[in-house]
Structure 1
Amino acid sequence: MSTPNKDIEKVEVRVKWDPSPHGAAANDLDIIAATYPADAPHGDPAYLVHFDSRSPDGTITLNRDSRNGQGFGF
């Protein structure tokens, strides 16, 4: 069996959005990661990972939060 990502050990995804204007209410962006089984890539996810959680096998960790789009080093 061959897989196109067999040499990939780590993937990082960065998201940047425009912060709210000064004095305006904060825009909160929530990110949820989902993994799908190989035999059903368009079906129900095997599991979901949201802020302050990690996948059961430890391959996905979401541990950063920003209420206004600032503070991530961009």
Structure 2
Amino acid sequence: MGTQYTTPVGTVVQLTGTAWARSEDGSMRHLQQGDVLCEDEAVITAHEGRVELEHADGTISTIQGPLLAELLPG
């Protein structure tokens, strides 16, 4: 099985509560501060979850739950 690389969209700089990244194939991983998110992933936050992403240009995006957010390239 090969590894597929996608374009990074941002880095988790702050995380409150529980959040996951879901890839196009449906697999999910728990997010932690410092994780890199890619354009083919969606962020899912629990009821009181909050994720702050820092993008390459230094801007910060906040995703607050409950929510499913699709990530798009900058």
The verdict on a shared fold, with TM-score over 0.5 as the criterion, is no
Larger RCO (CA under 8 A, 6+ residues apart): 2
Q: TM-score with structure 1 length normalisation?
A: 0.24
Q: TM-score with structure 2 length normalisation?
A: 0.24
The structure with the larger Rg is: 1
